[in-house]
Structure 1
Amino acid sequence: MEKQVFKEILAIDGGEKTVQSTFPWPIYDESDVQAVAEVVGSGKWGNPDCSDYVAAFEREFAAYCGTKYAVTCVNGSVSLRLALMACGVRPGDEVIVPPYTFIATASTVLEVNCVPVFVDIDPATYNLDPNAIEAAITDRTKAIIPVHFAGLACDMDAIMDIARRHNLRVIEDAAHAHGAEYKGRKLGSIGDAGSFSFQSSKNLTSGEGGIVVTNDEKLYRMMASLRNVGRMEGHQWYDHFNPGCNYRITQMQAVLLSQQLQRLEDQTVLRNNNGRYLSELLSGIDGLSPLSGRMEEIRHCYHLYIFKYDAAAFGGLSRQEFVARLAAEGVPCSTGYPHPLYKQPVFQNKNFMCYAIPDSVDYTTVFCPVSERACREEAVWIFQHAMLGSQDDMQAFAEAIRKIQRVVTQG
């Protein structure tokens, strides 16, 4: 009697999904609904109407981060711009940024009439490479914006040392890094200022919103003024001292953020534990390399779980095809950015709408090889809400990848 051979079928081809769990986001319950309803019922919705909820959340978030001050604003892009302006950059100044990040890290530099200078990332972390920063510093450099990409801490000791030696400001882009730590300190609290986003995908969210934290009272007062149409504490409502705008959040956003903040610590611990466990599992699969860094020194909040993919170990299956199959197996995932920031049309075409960018600035000649590889062929992202699953879910993620590898290499 001839032995039957079982043929494994991928979900994309009609087989059963490996991952059966779903991962809802945002996470909320009746207490969140009730808290927002109470604000709605009060009739005092705007920040000027009654700032108690906004001020309370600012105190809570500053305390969570271990800083003295926090200033809320409408989104994480504006929070970066407030920090840059308060740090005293002037038209034509240069600001060092990584090219593997969301557009706002660099576009806010343009918005303050400064020049983004792209420095490549470390292949082990996908964060700004400290070894490449110093060569990019000129007499016009005024600030560095390290991005704690995916919630993985940058090498802040090295970056702060460079900044001190060159008298540069450091603005941490912590849009992905709520609750993450570097050597026992919350990310965002180490540089001159730390910027966070509360956009809908973020680990702490109110749909939209942002915040800047700092220990510098002068920076705090300037950012608070810029956020509030240039007003200064202790003066009349129609006195305007600085060129700010209305970047205030609402009472409803603030109370929702206070509710969500109560869950953040437990969620961060869970993401960190799941991420480390998943890295153990994926490290045993040929062709995969989880991002690492000095993991013993940090707490990773895994806004994204990122691993590097080698098509050669998957029968030449392209990364795009691999991710399509992985998503079909039930893993929320993506290939991430299609190209580094300097290749965006706004930089290639110099569509800056700024008066202080020198004609000599030319982004068509910029080439950062690590960022290019990450965008073109390496990086695979698993989204943060999936990292709130169980260890069984992490095992299922790994099995989904092994299943794809078996099918594409064995036929």
Structure 2
Amino acid sequence: MKNKNTDSSRRKFLKQSSLAGVGAVLTMGMTPSLLAGDLNNAARPAILGGPSAWDKAKWIKWPIWVPETDEKRVLEVLRSGVWSRAGVVNEFEAAWANVNGAKRCLVVNNGTNALIVALNQLDIKGGDEVLVPPYTFISTVQAILMNGAMPVFVDIDPETYQIDPAKIEAKITPRTKAILPVHILGMPADMPRIMEIAKKHNLFVVEDACQAPLTEVNNQKVGTIGNAGCFSFQNSKNIPIGEGGAILSNDVSFMDRCVSFQNLGLPYGTAVGTFNAGSVRIGTKVRITEYQAAIGLAQLQRLDAQTTVREENAKYLKSKIKDIPGIVPYKLYDCATRVSFHLFSFRYKKEDFQGLSRNSFLQALRAEGVPCSGGYTPLNKQEFLKEAFASKNFKRMYHKDMLDYDKYMERNQCPENDLLCTEMVWFTQNLLLGSREDMDSIANAISKIQASAESVKKSLEK
């Protein structure tokens, strides 16, 4: 049975999207038809001179902005002259908390600082260890280092790309203070198992939900399951503001401390000090502006319906490509009840494409009019870790054996992630806002390359 509120929200999104030139979304309910023949056709790939499967100029542009509905509030804020944090920011915080079913929200200037503030106010500092997956954006690990803590990498589940709960306990030491699961690509980590492990070992859980707004685990929004959840509103994200981030939590005392810390340590709520004594803790200043919040309120009106469209298209596209030899789409945990799909992903097996390298496959796919990328490189092997260990602060906080970079690398090998980084293919979330015909075109493009893989290889890899 359909949910009336979801249906209404989706209809509103379709109407607004048509104003922004994305009326193709209205074809979501149409019978699928391939733009250039069925999946078994042997049409020449565009990279070899054949027709492209799709015109890349026709993809929905991101971010979406509808002047008729979006600009009124932003202009009101600009004309008011009240640009620093005030009532509009408060309104956006309340709305974001409500949408996610959380007691409290604090918005800050980006997702990176949301993670830094959350970890800091859980008292994760020098000498502590935080368990983290290697398949994530660099901000996740930088936030740990910026608080003086040590990242400990836990390898991924090769089917879901998430931190593997079966590998967590082996990495726990007396120094371990928190687990930082990342709902990468908008797909959820296995939170029931992670929370069970955290409870057993008395560890904090901070969810990096920067790519996963409205994703759900057992019908509960990610970011509200652990002690805190962090989000990003950067321009590429599913709710784009340009820059921005948020912390969610049901712990009122923790959230009061976060508010105080991100506002120069000034007292707030239960985080009070002596009357007229000024700041009560070491703090920073990462506040968001009123006009950013106004943009966020406009984008929030479309988020639910867009999430539904992305999820429907992701399921459909997966069904169209899962049987193509060499294409292994993502897998979800059984506990995933809604997925935001910041990125659509699959593993590319070159042995089923006549040995065609992934780079050549991506080049051929782009020639078909399908934007794509190979995703992340192994985060646990990047030079910033070595630089952090060589810093004066880390040398004062850790024994030299812990800062031995070669030994650290030995302890933090993640072979499943290394392999994943050589096979992954990504499509950005705006592609999933298209029509079923668009999804058919993507599938057709992949099939064309697969059928002519040997010829493509000879052309590109002479």
Q: TM-score, normalised by structure 1?
A: 0.94
1:310 maps to a residue whose letter is K
**3-state DSSP class of the match of 2:345?**
strand
- C-alpha distance in 1, partners of 2:331/2:159? 6
**3-state DSSP class of the match of 1:333?**
coil
- C-alpha distance in 2, partners of 1:147/1:205? 19
Contact 1:111 1:354 in 2 (8 A): no
Please say if 1:346 is aligned against 2:391: no
**3-state DSSP class of the match of 2:114?**
helix
* Further displaced range: 176-185 or 84-93: 84-93
Contact 1:231 1:237 in 2 (8 A): no
Q: Which residue of 2 aligns with 1:208?
A: 243
**3-state DSSP class of the match of 2:401?**
coil
Q: Which residue of 1 aligns with 2:37?
A: none
Please say if 1:257 is aligned against 2:296: yes
- C-alpha distance in 2, partners of 1:310/1:195? 34
Contact 1:115 1:357 in 2 (8 A): no
Q: Which residue of 1 aligns with 2:342?
A: 303
- C-alpha distance in 2, partners of 1:391/1:188? 31
The alpha carbon displacement at 1:19 in A equals 1.7
The alpha carbon displacement at 1:352 in A equals 4.7
Question: For each residue in 1:321-365, what CA deviation from the matched residue of structure 2 results, as whole angstroms up to 9, or x when unmatched?
Answer: 101111221222100113x11111112453455332432233332
Aligned counterpart in structure 2 of residue 364 of structure 1, from 400, 409, 430? 409
Compared CA separation, residues 408 and 56, structure 1 to 2 (3 A): same
* Further displaced range: 238-247 or 105-114: 238-247
Q: Which residue of 2 aligns with 1:223?
A: 258
The alpha carbon displacement at 1:238 in A equals 7.9
The alpha carbon displacement at 1:231 in A equals 1.1
* Further displaced range: 30-39 or 125-134: 30-39
Please say if 1:98 is aligned against 2:133: yes
Q: Which residue of 2 aligns with 1:24?
A: 61
The alpha carbon displacement at 1:86 in A equals 1.1
Question: For each residue in 1:33-83, what CA deviation from the matched residue of structure 2 results, as whole angstroms up to 9, or x when unmatched?
Answer: 222111111111111xxx110000000000111100000001101000111
- C-alpha distance in 1, partners of 2:102/2:437? 37
Unaligned runs of 5+ in 1: 1-5
Q: Which residue of 1 aligns with 2:449?
A: 404
Contact 2:59 2:430 in 1 (8 A): no
Contact 1:348 1:364 in 2 (8 A): no
Q: Which residue of 2 aligns with 1:275?
A: 314
1:207 maps to a residue whose letter is G
Question: For each residue in 1:76-102, what CA deviation from the matched residue of structure 2 results, as whole angstroms up to 9, or x when unmatched?
Answer: 010001110111213110000011111
- C-alpha distance in 2, partners of 1:255/1:176? 21
Contact 1:229 1:246 in 2 (8 A): yes
Compared CA separation, residues 229 and 237, structure 1 to 2 (3 A): farther
**CA-atom RMSD in angstroms:** 1.8
Unaligned runs of 5+ in 2: 1-40, 457-462
- C-alpha distance in 2, partners of 1:60/1:249? 15
Question: For each residue in 1:135-193, what CA deviation from the matched residue of structure 2 results, as whole angstroms up to 9, or x when unmatched?
Answer: 00011100000000001111000000000010000000001001111110011010000
- C-alpha distance in 1, partners of 2:238/2:331? 20
**3-state DSSP class of the match of 2:393?**
coil
- C-alpha distance in 1, partners of 2:442/2:399? 49
- C-alpha distance in 2, partners of 1:326/1:238? 62
Compared CA separation, residues 73 and 314, structure 1 to 2 (3 A): same
Aligned counterpart in structure 2 of residue 182 of structure 1, from 217, 238, 242? 217
The alpha carbon displacement at 1:237 in A equals 8.8
The alpha carbon displacement at 1:390 in A equals 1.1
- C-alpha distance in 1, partners of 2:311/2:392? 41
- C-alpha distance in 2, partners of 1:359/1:326? 48
Compared CA separation, residues 98 and 353, structure 1 to 2 (3 A): farther
The alpha carbon displacement at 1:313 in A equals 1.0
Contact 2:190 2:335 in 1 (8 A): no
- C-alpha distance in 1, partners of 2:277/2:303? 38
- C-alpha distance in 1, partners of 2:70/2:399? 49
Please say if 1:387 is aligned against 2:437: no
- C-alpha distance in 1, partners of 2:434/2:334? 21
Q: Which residue of 2 aligns with 1:3?
A: none
Aligned counterpart in structure 2 of residue 326 of structure 1, from 357, 365, 370? 365
Contact 1:176 1:303 in 2 (8 A): yes
Contact 2:42 2:451 in 1 (8 A): no
2:280 maps to a residue whose letter is F
Question: 1:109-120 counterparts in 2 under 5 A?
Answer: 109-120=144-155
Instruction: Using the aligned pairs only, state the percent identity.
Output: 41
Q: Which residue of 1 aligns with 2:83?
A: 45
Q: Which residue of 1 aligns with 2:183?
A: 148
Q: TM-score, normalised by structure 2?
A: 0.84
Contact 2:133 2:154 in 1 (8 A): yes
Q: Which residue of 2 aligns with 1:65?
A: 100
1:360 maps to a residue whose letter is D
Q: Which residue of 1 aligns with 2:24?
A: none
